[in-house]
Amino acid sequence: MIDLAAAVDYVVAGDNAVVLPRLPDASVQLVYIDPPFNTGAVQQRRTLRTVRDDAGDRTGFQGRRYTTVELGRLGYVDVHDDYLDFLAARLEHAHRLLRPDGTLYLHVDYREVHYCKVLLDAIFGRDCFLNEIVWAYDFGGRGRDRWPAKHDNILVYVKTPKGHYFDQDAIERIPYLAPGLVGPEKAARGKLPTDVWWHTIVPTNGREKTGYPNQKPEGILRRIVSASSAPGARVLDFFAGSGTTGAVARQLGRRFALVDANPDAVTTMRRRLGEDGVRYLDADGVALDD
């Protein structure tokens, strides 16, 4: 069993269905997961560069020609025959692993959010539902026959009704949309976010970009980790992907435990999080070879 009380961080390379039963009860204060959205597609991100080539396939500044070279490709298949069965056992473990003051954030999209809400009501209880957060952004495809989908949903459930940890003072304030209506003092202080979060996706050339598909921005995780975990507490993400949860937890002085079965994810996390204070293990708790 992995010792989540230890003063170290963990990245576990393995199937979370195998890893989660081996983690101790009531050992984490916050669980954030961003599972595959069951889109039926192969989620993929390619890393490209261009090199000068007079016979190349691209034209650049002053008519110079370039050839596109693919440096790498990361991806996973986002399809499950029974999505709710896929999630149910994992969410039951999330409930077991949370401390009495703990909180779960489940990040899904419009295709599955309604079904996931019913599932979580059954596992946690309807009285443990805290929020449905809407994360709105303005990038991606433009639908021609419908309103373009430009948001994700984050369902928030607590282990104990009225007994969860929530530090409102730790949340970074945001500008008022109409500062002239609230006066200079309030405008300077800003306001607390509501359950609708306007935040851009990870910029293509941004500092935090890892190249991993569907990477979530640190700003979203920073708001979650700040509000729903205390300094020094353990944060768990068992669909860890690029490791954003771990990167933010470290910045904010929390301990993290990350789990992912995709070798590309583990490689990305190792590059992003480094070796200092982090133990890289397989599903049996054995240290990974360098």
Residue pLDDT, tens place only, 166-195: 999 999 999 999 999 999 999 999 999 999
> What does the pLDDT read at residue 78?
41
The set of residues, in sequence order, having a beta carbon less than 8 Å from that of 166 and lying 6+ positions away, is 103, 227, 228
Task: Reply yes or no on whether the pLDDT at 247 is more than 90.
Answer: yes
> What does the pLDDT read at residue 38?
55
Residue pLDDT, tens place only, 133-158: 999 998 777 778 988 889 999 999 99
Residue pLDDT, tens place only, 72-127: 444 434 444 588 888 999 999 999 999 999 999 999 988 889 999 999 999 999 99
For the chain, the structural domain boundaries read 9-40+79-282, 45-77
Task: Reply yes or no on whether the pLDDT at 44 is more than 70.
Answer: no
> What does the pLDDT read at residue 141?
72
Please, is 56 exposed, middle or buried when counting C-beta atoms within 10 Å of its C-beta (0-12, 13-18, 19+)?
middle
What value, to the nearest 5°, has the Cα angle with vertex 87 and ends 84 and 89?
Answer: 110
Q: 9-40+79-282: which CATH architecture?
A: 3-Layer(aba) Sandwich (3.40)
Q: What element of type H or E holds 87? A: helix 83-97
> What does the pLDDT read at residue 289?
77
- When pLDDT is cut at 50, 70 and 90, the band that residue 63 belongs to is low
The answer to whether the CB of 118 falls within 8 A of the CB of 140 is no
> What does the pLDDT read at residue 154?
98
Task: Reply yes or no on whether the pLDDT at 250 is more than 90.
Answer: yes
Return the beta strands (E) in 64-111 as ranges. 65-78, 98-108
Phi and psi of 3, rounded to 5°?
A: -85, 95
Distance CA 188, CA 144 (A): 41
Distance CA 270, CA 25 (A): 27
Task: Reply yes or no on whether the pLDDT at 202 is more than 60.
Answer: yes
Task: Reply yes or no on whether the pLDDT at 32 is more than 90.
Answer: yes
Residue pLDDT, tens place only, 213-237: 889 999 999 999 999 999 999 999 9
> What does the pLDDT read at residue 205?
78
Q: Parallel, antiparallel, or unpaired for β 98-108 and 151-158?
A: antiparallel
The answer to whether the CB of 76 falls within 8 A of the CB of 213 is yes
> What does the pLDDT read at residue 72?
45
In 3-state terms the chain splits into helix, strand, coil percentages (rounded to 5) of: 30, 30, 40
Tell me the average pLDDT across 36-47: 49
- When pLDDT is cut at 50, 70 and 90, the band that residue 212 belongs to is confident
